[in-house]
Amino acid sequence: MLLPAILALIAGASTTLAFAPFNFSVLALITPAALFLLLKRQSLKRACWIGWLFGLGFFGTGVSWVYVSINTYGDTPAIPAALLTASFCAALAVLFLLQIWLYQKYFSKDFPAIAFAVIWLLFEWLRSWLFTGFPWLYLGYSTLDTPLSPLAAIGGVWLLSAVVISVSLALASLIHNRGRKQWLVAFSAIALPLLVSFSLPQHWTTKSGEPIDVAIVQPDIDQLIKWNPLHLESILNRYYSSTEKLLGKKVIIWPETAIPSLYPKVEPYFAPLVAQQQRLGGSLISGIPMKVNDPEHPLGRRIHNSILNLTENTSYHKQRLVPFGEYVPWQDQFRDLFNFLNIPDMTFSLPKNPQQPLLQVGNYQYSTAICYEIAYPELVREYSKNADVILTLSNDTWFSHSIGPDQHFQMARMRAIENGRWLIRSANNGITAIVNAQGKVVVVAPRYTQAVLEGKVQPLQGLTPYQRLGHWPLIIFYFAALGIILAMRQRIFGFSKRYKVQLKRQH
């Protein structure tokens, strides 16, 4: 049992290398196959243990950046921060335990490769919404810089995950049995997706106007001083001086919570800048906390993590907040209990109405995503159908020089392909970039330094197949596949039982 356990842990940990910034995509084909083979001839208890260890390695390396946030910016000493990170990863690994339990108990005997693949994909989907969701490290992201990436316009990252796991299990079957049938299945699993990908049109959307002249300010503000009132003036001065020379650009963009203050308090300071940009016919967009009065709220107001178009007074409020980072779940419903337990109010609130209009910027409409909202494929899909451009603001300074920002940017690029839109990404210290509708990086700013990124963005309209249908056709297919396997298993089992009864009667 020790060797399979160690191999499962190594396989899970190695999977992280398939994603950014390493991009050893082939590992996404190898490690699920390794897990599948390790489960052969294992008891249910041992299989669950192997699954949990795979998940521990997978999340322990894949989301190790959580430690940086807790230790460096959460002011938590190294050992407690490491324990908290380990606990978080161990809890996420339970999803792999449940995934393997379901497979090993009900599906490992009949059509095991198909069942393993389908259950893997269903649990990726489960991670997108369970307990507000943690849609990170889907296998499909490993294909971003491969010839398979155009398939994202058909079925999103979900379809790419299906391709990866299918090839992986086909290769696993080859290792187990190298017959002609297995070779044919493996060849088909690789060749068919490539053939479809190469045959797809390069463009699903059409131009809705002339290219937009864009400038993105990357301020590189130290997170340790950002919310300190003593540094507010120097932060405002940095934005003012960086932006003053850009006035006249069609769109100037600042990152998430660029202004560490409610806007009415600093509006007089920026008024000349905003007025001049308005006179020149341009827009100035910033991430900023916004206060909205709400008599129905226990505190009489809501503080939102928002995007504000300062020149046109249009805004968007973040609707997927980070649990226990930006808000406490169910805080409004259990406020008395939280007060008794001395759990403090978090900074931000969810918007009262999640159905928000697109951000009007000049003659165009922008779909918007703040920070890790860009990781939710369906959220961005729904919001981008009528948009000309996708805009995402972030502050990945929380994760310093870890692999977190690279993974985050990889997901943002995938959203551009899925929705057939150019994407603008503004981040405090990187990765600040402009991405085209094929997910290719057009221009990118140097990281971990103060910079201004300038470029042109092509507004587009139209719908990709993924935008039209979403992920539901795939999800329905997965459930149907499991249902068919169960039905066939029942039929085979029933036939076998009747056959044995007949034999006994004959003897």
Name the residues annotated as catalytic.
Answer: 256, 318, 371
Q: Is 345 helix (H, G, I), strand (E, B) or coil?
A: coil
Spatial separation of the C-alpha atoms in residues 217 and 431, rounded to whole Å: 12
CA angle 61, 131, 83 (to 5 degrees): 40
451: which 2 tokens?
A: 């910079």
Cβ-based neighbours of 75, under 8 Å, separated by 6 or more: none
Q: Are 258 and 288 in contact (CB under 8 A)?
A: yes
Name 454's bridge partners.
215
Q: Per-residue b/e over 2-16, b at no fewer than 16 CB within 10 Å? A: eebbebbbebbbbbb
Spatial separation of the C-alpha atoms in residues 46 and 1, rounded to whole Å: 8
Q: Which residue has the tokens 């056959």?
A: 499
Instruction: Give the strand order in the sheet containing 212-218.
Output: 314-317, 301-309, 283-293, 251-253, 212-218, 451-457
Q: Choose among 113, 129, 221, 234: nearest CA to 174.
A: 113
CA distances from 224 to 210, 220, 221, 395 (A): 41, 12, 9, 13
Q: Per-residue b/e over 315-341, b at no fewer than 16 CB within 10 Å? A: bbbbbbbbeeebbbeebeeeeeebeee
Phi, psi (deg, nearest 5) at residue 367: -85, 145
Spatial separation of the C-alpha atoms in residues 142 and 58, rounded to whole Å: 14
Q: Choose among 496, 403, 426: nearest CA to 137.
A: 403
Q: Choose among 306, 250, 258: nearest CA to 278.
A: 250
